[in-house]
Structure 1
């Protein structure tokens, strides 16, 4: 998922950077921003992200004893009444010794007309979002639960299930993340409980209905049409989707390394067709990039697709069918980073899902760093560097792991990307991409925790990375702030001793441990680099050099989430 606040924050930074550069060229002073503090406060507000969290009591303890195997959903849509009728047939099994009830998530404003467990009517109660069903099941027992229901879904979270309209035409869509799938179908709404899905969507015959997986059939009559979609790979409930509107469809394809063909399908509003053809034309190249870097596209038996919807805050990575807000279809490829980000989720978030919402940085940080990887794939190291600079901030809040109410803050997105960037610097390019490929291959179609990822990192690198992840993921909430001072002493043999004094000045974390490149520039223009390892708050390093240095640059390629302050320049 990517949302407007994050996009707006990045756009503001770019805008003010450009304006500042233009002003710097003027022969006179321009007071463009009378109160720059106002802009800084706005940026900090944007960094906090929308306050969307999963309530502590949303998932009951009993739900962790369930393993849902399959959802069969029949959804009839009635856009004029803003109502749906549903039949959910849920197949699952019990993982504990014995249970006397099954708990699922389902909003109680939807009316249950019939509930049948293993071919018998069952007692139940539905309060708030908890559906409790009387049962008598033992370990590994399989159950089949059929629930018939109807009503108008409650608007929650990022809008949940929406009966929308644009230019007089109906457009129906949903946004389940993180915990709103149960606004429109009963489910075990835990991201790690993946299941297979069959979904049949019925709407007016003028509407095209789109969902996850592969289109199996379309049944049409004069007034109503049913689109039947099926997944061949497991899916988390927060990624299950419906889009239904008067879409125009066009297609592309991606050819895999093994010469298989992946269909790419686009569903857009009629007046956006030509714009969408321009904006989406690079999708095969994006898939090619990530397939080379991470492993082959994981849903090759199904499709990749994009559907236009009315969520004006951003986009959503519904499995195999990304939703793109209609205002992000421009016709000039201005929002390509969004398309890249949502595609990347098909590796990070969809194929490899989060074990819990505490691990959401594994979704968003990875997909944000994938934006930088794609920029590098297209245009080289300078593009990687500039992309990461655009995601730098001094205002990241909270930790990456277990961020509490800030599931969608820019800390999760941009600091998450920076942690991967720093890990790449720490272990080296070859090892880093081997880590990503191994992590993807190990947990594909499953779920992974932060500790699962750390184990892969340590196994592949052969290193203990406890300090790295403690300071950047579990404990540290602040960037490195490093003051440095340097001076040279001429030695008797004509060489020079360079002394560098470094002091970490950040407040909330005493001493980060990291490796640092020091670029030394000499009087005659020659340059060389030294790599030093920092472990303490205050350290000195000495080097014997053949020439007198003229200038020092710390971290010249921007691998570290750090601010460097040259005390020599300050004193001068």
Structure 2
């Protein structure tokens, strides 16, 4: 973005949706070795988000969306493993109506509790069991208006829709374990009226049309956090090609000029990704790309996996903006491939992506990283920490700018060779997984062969300006 312990919650008092044929199954809670999965992962930055008791391996989503009515219908199939003996479990799903739920092909009890879908398998699930839950759902998806970035989630637009947002958005258009600690693969089919594009994450698949509707297919085979999913539907000029042997898909609204700053910025995606790979290690995904949107509610750019989405504000000056492309592409390593375990460590995403802007600017003939460090050092508010900045500071300058200062301070302390070896070791060893600040400190000390904890403490959380290394 530019601009785990699990808590057990008591049994929920849930309303049964009898009209949809659901049944409440609470007696399973007393079966030996089984108990309800947690309805909340207890991350204080996203209260209510995520669920415990299972780990999702993959999602298969088939959705149909009609912009004329703003109605979405879908079927989600989640393949998961029970991490405890489960009498029931929760999925995050905001506002949509559910008509059918099965677990391993058998009808399951289901009920709603706010933005939670509570699923009760007929026989329970023993610890270690691999299972598949299917959910049929439909309705008019809604935006989330209480996020730190303003409106997010599923946004109806003049010619389609945009599903986007951080730290959450996925639960507004499909049932999900909506926390970055549970990453999974995704297969997405999106059916829309002929003439509209339907863009998502990963490698494009076969596109088919029938009866006035076109189905677009996408597959993200690397594990992906739910907030990194996206769906962009509308009248877009889609460019498809390859880069470094991988698909490259970029899209700009058809209303924008083909030679405008938006298209010119996206055209540098491959070049910038190659430069970052020379610093961070191999590009971690099977496809490249980017999407520009013009909806004014999107006042940010977001690093949606393999295909970042860029809001209109970054191109107001009428000139290309490769800096924002560098920032969002850096997230493919820092944030997407190596994903935070908890939102209080968001500087691991934003500090490194902001630093990548400095690296790219210097490479592209602008200010050096050292000069940007000097400017930032003089301007930053040292009373605000980068680690655990509080919910109101989730996207604050301490996370972005102070985080970038800490990265450069590490570089000055250990030297260039060791610094870039730390970065490449981090992206290699933690690829496709989750991590914390503590994990980074331990790894950096191992690679550098020297204590670095005092350095990280001073530059990330200390209340006064640290001494320059």
Q: Do the structures match in fold with TM over 0.5? A: yes
Alignment equivalent of 2:76, drawn from 78, 84, 88:
88
Shift in Å at residue 345 of structure 1?
0.7
Contact 1:239 1:319 in 2 (8 A): yes
- 2:287 corresponding residue in structure 1: 302
Structure 2 residue 435 is the aligned partner of structure 1 residue 462: no
Question: Matched residues in 1 for 2:399 and 2:114: separation?
Answer: 30
- 1:274 corresponding residue in structure 2: 259
Question: Matched residues in 2 for 1:84 and 1:304: separation?
Answer: 26
- 1:384 corresponding residue in structure 2: 369
Give the TM-score normalised by the residue count of structure 2.
0.84
Contact 1:262 1:304 in 2 (8 A): no
Contact 1:159 1:174 in 2 (8 A): no
Shift in Å at residue 148 of structure 1?
0.8
Contact 2:327 2:356 in 1 (8 A): yes
Question: Matched residues in 1 for 2:468 and 2:251: separation?
Answer: 47
- 1:161 corresponding residue in structure 2: 153
Shift in Å at residue 456 of structure 1?
1.0
Q: CA offsets, 1:278-298, max 9 Å, x none?
A: 333322221111110011111
Question: Matched residues in 2 for 1:365 and 1:515: separation?
Answer: 18
SS of the aligned residue for 1:138 comes to coil
Shift in Å at residue 155 of structure 1?
1.6
- 1:190 corresponding residue in structure 2: 179
Contact 1:68 1:93 in 2 (8 A): yes
Question: Matched residues in 2 for 1:369 and 1:363: separation?
Answer: 10
Does the C-alpha gap of structure 1 residues 331 and 296 become closer, same or farther in structure 2, counting only changes over 3 Å?
farther
Contact 1:160 1:183 in 2 (8 A): no
Question: Matched residues in 1 for 2:345 and 2:380: separation?
Answer: 22
Alignment equivalent of 2:107, drawn from 91, 112, 121:
121
SS of the aligned residue for 1:437 comes to helix
Q: How does 1:331-346 map to 2 (within 5 A)?
A: 332-346=318-332
Structure 2 residue 435 is the aligned partner of structure 1 residue 451: no
Shift in Å at residue 189 of structure 1?
1.1
- 2:54 corresponding residue in structure 1: 66
Does the C-alpha gap of structure 1 residues 55 and 234 become closer, same or farther in structure 2, counting only changes over 3 Å?
closer
Does the C-alpha gap of structure 1 residues 223 and 389 become closer, same or farther in structure 2, counting only changes over 3 Å?
farther
Contact 2:143 2:155 in 1 (8 A): no
Question: Matched residues in 1 for 2:191 and 2:225: separation?
Answer: 22
- 1:525 corresponding residue in structure 2: none
- 1:75 corresponding residue in structure 2: 63
Contact 1:375 1:387 in 2 (8 A): no
SS of the aligned residue for 1:274 comes to coil
SS of the aligned residue for 1:366 comes to helix
Contact 1:204 1:223 in 2 (8 A): yes
Contact 1:243 1:307 in 2 (8 A): no
Shift in Å at residue 455 of structure 1?
1.1
Contact 2:142 2:155 in 1 (8 A): no
Question: Matched residues in 1 for 2:86 and 2:299: separation?
Answer: 42
Question: Matched residues in 2 for 1:120 and 1:263: separation?
Answer: 38
- 1:151 corresponding residue in structure 2: 139
Q: CA offsets, 1:505-559, max 9 Å, x none?
A: xxxxxxxxx564xxxxxxxxxxxxxxxxxxxxxxxxxxxxxxxxxxxxxxxxxxx
Shift in Å at residue 389 of structure 1?
4.3
SS of the aligned residue for 2:427 comes to helix
Paired residues, number: 419
Shift in Å at residue 341 of structure 1?
0.6
Question: Matched residues in 2 for 1:235 and 1:402: separation?
Answer: 23
Does the C-alpha gap of structure 1 residues 452 and 83 become closer, same or farther in structure 2, counting only changes over 3 Å?
same
Q: How does 1:477-516 map to 2 (within 5 A)?
A: 477-480=463-466, 514=467, 516=469
Contact 1:58 1:129 in 2 (8 A): no
Is the deviation greater in 225-234 or in 436-445? 225-234
- 2:411 corresponding residue in structure 1: 424
Larger Rg: 1
- 2:224 corresponding residue in structure 1: 235
SS of the aligned residue for 2:444 comes to helix
Give the TM-score normalised by the residue count of structure 1.
0.69
Shift in Å at residue 334 of structure 1?
4.4
Question: Matched residues in 2 for 1:175 and 1:200: separation?
Answer: 17
Shift in Å at residue 327 of structure 1?
4.0
- 1:440 corresponding residue in structure 2: 427
Question: Matched residues in 2 for 1:390 and 1:248: separation?
Answer: 39
Q: CA offsets, 1:169-194, max 9 Å, x none?
A: 51311123212311221111120211
Question: Matched residues in 2 for 1:207 and 1:178: separation?
Answer: 28
SS of the aligned residue for 2:65 comes to strand
Kindly indicate which of the two structures has a greater share of residues assigned to strand: 1
Question: Matched residues in 1 for 2:439 and 2:69: separation?
Answer: 47
- 2:23 corresponding residue in structure 1: none
Unaligned stretches of 5+ residues in structure 1: 4-52, 256-260, 481-513, 517-572
- 1:215 corresponding residue in structure 2: 204
Shift in Å at residue 331 of structure 1?
8.2
> What is the RMSD computed on CA atoms of the aligned residues?
2.1
Contact 1:115 1:146 in 2 (8 A): yes
Question: Matched residues in 2 for 1:253 and 1:229: separation?
Answer: 16
Q: CA offsets, 1:311-361, max 9 Å, x none?
A: 441211111111111343458544322111111111111111111111111
Q: How does 1:241-260 map to 2 (within 5 A)?
A: 241-251=230-240, 253-255=242-244
Alignment equivalent of 2:126, drawn from 138, 145, 169:
138
- Ranges of 4+ aligned residues in structure 1 off by more than 6 Å: none
